[in-house]
Amino acid sequence: MPPPTPPNVILIMTDQQRADSLGCTGNPVVQTPQIDALAARGAVFRNHFTPHQICSPSRSTLFSGLFARHHGLTRNGVALPEELPLITHDLKAAGYRTHGAGKFHFQPILAGAEHEMPDSNAFWDLPQSDGWTGPFYGFDTVDILIGESVSATEGGHYANWLRETAPEAAALYLPENALEQPPEDMDEVWKSAIPAELHYNSWITDRACHFLQDQNGDAPFFLFVSYPDPHHPFSPPAPWCDMYDPAEVPAPAQVPDELAAMPSYILDNDREEAASSYVDFLRNPGPPREQGFMQTTQRFSDASLRQAIAHTYGMVSMIDDGIGRILAQLDAQGLTGDTLILFTSDHGELLGDHGLIRKGPSPYLPLLHVPLIMAGPGVTPGERNGITSHLDLRATLQDHLALPTQHTDGTSFQPMLAEPESPGRDTFYAEYHPRTRMDTYNQTLLSADWRFTLYPENPDWGEMFHLASDPGEHVNLYFHPDYTKQKQQFTEQLTREFPPAPEAGGPSLATY
């Protein structure tokens, strides 16, 4: 008998989604019936983390299995080397058809036309963009979406499609055309006037379904479906913008004056962010600003912040609806039983916790802790409580799919797929490479009980949280005299096993 065909693989990724923003991970308000159904027949990893809380480094780590210091894309604005082996190359070598639809962010969005990078807006003004669909980083073909919200209509396949389908529709993304007047104190919150059927999330779903319609089971496929939401701005279309009552969303978790014990740049940078607009930056980028655009919530009303949370949940539910369509299409093709499905996000969002929004240098767990669900052949349903990382996914897929083993920095957690009680990692490391303020470079050691962060360029800063007694990370013990010995042990371990590398990475080609 011929050997069985390897399972298909669908990797669904969102952008800036917290681990606790799904029904199946305990959120009491957000409705995610499609993802919850996937979770019910699969493995839910309750302690899955990314080593990099910024978009491009995290995505590149997931695909390469390497820390950013080794794959080179250490900060947004740097390009991932095109010759670097990724999981897509592993799969292609094993006979898989590879396709991606949505946001990739392997190259800078603002890279100049001279670089000829399809992940940049400038490429789409070049003659060679006409009819281009790949290859791209191990993908045979791609349907590219660049950016999010107001910036998603400038370049890429989606922008071209929207111009051809509804030439006037791009302006409907803008806040000045919102369905209601946005709040005066928070310019990133509005109800987008773009019809849901023209929205990029719907287009990505359509392109994924179109790819699946062409699959007949003769050869295995890898499909990457990458949604740009629930990344800020918080601007979903109807009906998703009205799905949740802001008064009913959980309040952010914060303690009065907790930031006073944190590194001083958090409050220092707040003045810069408060004096500028992220939406204006998207529409007309000026001088480089620090990645993540982290800002305190002290200038926002409770109503505006709750509206941002409600809109985030609306974006999550819109994506959930799209995932339902993809799973239904897979079922219609008779391929569900032969397909391994992964759902995750590149990194999280502060969303008001600690009195902060967006993301930034400080590696709070709402930024590092992301969802991971895996369902399909060889996966026993149930929760997994061991620590796993994006760093480990390539090695895990190599094991699970019997692909040739390629070098990674990660550790396969393939035994956990079949056996829910199999242990995960004891510890893992995370790293942040800044764009503008180099002393915010930091390294983190995370275990089940501790989160410890060093700033090698600034000894006056540090973060240390005893997660066993302070799971919300509200009491920074770094300078507490009772924990001097513990701090010294962590410092030695981190410096020995993950030495500082603040200068690592390729050249910056653009602001982002």
pLDDT of residue 273: 65
φ and ψ at 499, to 5 degrees? Answer: -60, 150
Over residues 299-311, mean pLDDT = 96
pLDDT at 3 over 60: no
pLDDT of residue 427: 96
Give the separation between CA 299 and CA 295, rounded to whole angstroms. Answer: 10
Segments making up each domain of the chain, as ranges: 10-255+296-426
pLDDT at 321 over 90: yes
Residue 227 CB coordination number (10 Å): 27
Q: Amino acid identity of 306?
A: R
CATH code, residues 10-255+296-426 = 3.40.720.10
Over residues 190-203, mean pLDDT = 98
Both tokens assigned to 210:
């179109």
pLDDT of residue 282: 75
- The pTM score is 0.97
Instruction: Give the model confidence (pLDDT) of 208-235 as tens digits.
Output: 999 999 998 789 999 999 999 999 999 9
% pLDDT > 90, the chain: 92
Instruction: Give the model confidence (pLDDT) of 376-412 as tens digits.
Output: 999 999 999 999 999 999 999 999 999 999 999 999 9
Over residues 96-112, mean pLDDT = 97
pLDDT at 292 over 90: no
Over residues 130-148, mean pLDDT = 97
- Which residues lie across from 428 on neighbouring strands? 446
Task: Say which DSSP state 283 is in.
Answer: H
Give the separation between CA 187 and CA 279, rounded to whole angstroms. Answer: 7
Instruction: Give the model confidence (pLDDT) of 232-288 as tens digits.
Output: 999 999 999 999 999 999 999 999 999 999 999 999 887 766 666 777 777 777 777
Residue 440: which of 257, 297, 268 has the closest Cα? 268
Radius of gyration of the CA atoms of the chain, in A? 22
SS3 content of the chain, % helix, strand, coil (to 5): 35, 15, 50
pLDDT, averaged across the chain: 95
